[in-house]
A and B are shown apart, each in its own frame.
Chain A
Amino acid sequence: AQTVTQSQPEMSVQEAETVTLSCTYDTSESNYYLFWYKQPPSRQMILVIRQEAYKQQNATENRFSVNFQKAAKSFSLKISDSQLGDTAMYFCASFQPFNAGGTSYGKLTFGQGTILTVHP
């Protein structure tokens, strides 16, 4: 079974500064994907960034980047030049494909979430 752990319930950062959110995961599979989702007060789940486990290069999306350490099973999110709109709950998630009754599915396992507050 997959597990995803976020050990920081809350984080805060000053506007324009950089912050890193931590995530560790555990899986016995070789084929999996990792995600960071953002949940603002509107409750919408927004995909921030994704990482394919077979890729060594760390994913980057504008101000968001990850530090993917496969051997250590670590997947941290770095937010540069933090903005007030980055204030949200952030979830780390692991996607694993599996088969049930001959049909392929993908299961997304989430961490507990980290509340990030960006201060002006």
Chain B
Amino acid sequence: DADVTQTPRNRITKTGKRIMLECSQTKGHDRMYWYRQDPGLGLRLIYYSFDVKDINKGEISDGYSVSRQAQAKFSLSLESAIPNQTALYFCATSDLYALGDTGELFFGEGSRLTVL
């Protein structure tokens, strides 16, 4: 089983619908992230979290919200989906950064969202 699991893997929805993408991890990491991948733009950070009480906006958080239900679960919501939110979404985790750590992130397999 994957260490970082995202559901759903693929989703097609209509403009204005509420969508939730879920992420769970078994790596025991504190830090979790949501990224969005678009062609020609690479991956961009949406939100990141240290624990259930710590949520931070990334560079493209408008139109998104998140919930850290537990250390192992981090959900991304689109309250009212629009077509330009069509993208591939990745959840990632990392351990506590300390001097000497190389900062590797561990990714889920991605959730492809299409908003019609």
The number of residue pairs between A and B whose CB atoms lie closer than 8 Å in the complex comes to: 64
> Which DSSP category, helix, strand, loop or mixed, fits chain A's interface?
strand
- Select from chain B the residue with minimum beta-carbon distance to A91: B42
Q: How far is the CB of A31 from chain B (nearest CB, A)?
A: 8
Q: Tell me which of A33, A91, A105 contacts B50 (CB under 8 A).
A: A105
Chain B residue total in the interface (Cβ 8 A): 28
Q: Cβ of A101 < 8 Å from any Cβ of B?
A: yes
- A residues in contact with B31, CB < 8 Å: 105-106
Bound together, the chains give a CA A22 to CA B88 distance in angstroms of 24
Q: Which residues of B are interface residues toward A (Cβ below 8 A)?
A: 31, 35, 40-45, 48, 50, 54, 56, 88, 90, 92, 94, 96-98, 101-105, 107, 109-110, 112
Q: Which residues of A are interface residues toward B (Cβ below 8 A)?
A: 4, 6, 9, 33, 35, 42-45, 47, 50, 52, 91, 95, 97, 100-101, 103-108, 110-113
